[in-house]
Structure 1
């Protein structure tokens, strides 16, 4: 089992996902809904979405190791299932956010000139902005549900 300062790593790593996941989800929603905020949010949102992929995967791996070392209850199994969903959601979220930023933020999009007319297509941009907002909302939801199921499994509520 992975440990940090004698504590199971999952207990410490989970805080990064529980805090950064909802922030990233909200940032994606704001990015999609408020064009004037895009220049402020593009880089932080892209970096945060990228960082959340390995953080989610490592946290889930540490959680699986913790689960193997303790007797599993129904609540822990439910939390593990929610964590598996969150891993997938974090990858999908990153892909959608990256596509959304590339098509809607000019300073980044210019580096992807090979996308040509795809980048200039308003329908594609609109679809990606809506998908980004929906992915942000679902990532926000899944982060909260996963965190809540983990807290409930520890605190018994």
Structure 2
């Protein structure tokens, strides 16, 4: 499942989902956290992205681990590049998982109307969750960039 899809290595196929879904989750999470007026429009996309993004990153990460066992990637120089790429991917998975959890909490903690009087938890919890969402979104965006950039350099500049 993580090795090949229809005879093609799975990793180049799976990474596209992660590269699209992680920034979409980051963007919708930040919008939901800081712009009350958009909440009724982005709540369900936020929930969908929060559920799909960690899965996409997991599939990309696991398929990458299978892909790295290829005989073409066994030199010491290539193994070092792959190890760095895997470190970024491992960090990305943890950060996107944290962002997804906080985004889901925020989506169900803060009602669509956005009025502070209607928040289902203390206002301080809302502000902490909103701030944490923004921080996690920025860190997740950074790691999806670093992971993708390191993989692209390996693929397009050679090993």
TM range, smaller chain: 0.7 to 0.9
Residue correspondences, number = 147
| Runs of 4+ displaced beyond 6 Å | none
Query: Is residue 2–residue 65 contact of structure 1 (8 Å, CA) maintained in 2?
Result: yes
1:25 aligns with 2:26: yes
Instruction: Tell me by how many angstroms 1:40 deviates.
Output: 0.8
1:130 corresponding residue in structure 2:
131
| RCO comparison, higher one (Cα < 8 Å, 6+) | 1
CA distance in 1, matches of 2:145, 2:153: 12
Task: Give the RMSD, CA atoms, in angstroms.
Answer: 1.8
Q: How does 1:80-119 map to 2 (within 5 A)?
A: 80-106=86-112, 119=120
Secondary structure at the counterpart of residue 68 of structure 1: coil
Q: Which runs of 5+ in 1 are unaligned?
A: 108-117
Instruction: Tell me by how many angstroms 1:95 deviates.
Output: 0.9
Secondary structure at the counterpart of residue 48 of structure 2: helix
TM-score, normalised via structure 2 length: 0.85
CA distance in 2, matches of 1:149, 1:135: 21
Q: Which runs of 5+ in 2 are unaligned?
A: 114-118
Instruction: Tell me by how many angstroms 1:131 deviates.
Output: 0.8
Instruction: Report which of the two has the higher share of helix.
Output: 1
Instruction: Tell me by how many angstroms 1:29 deviates.
Output: 1.3
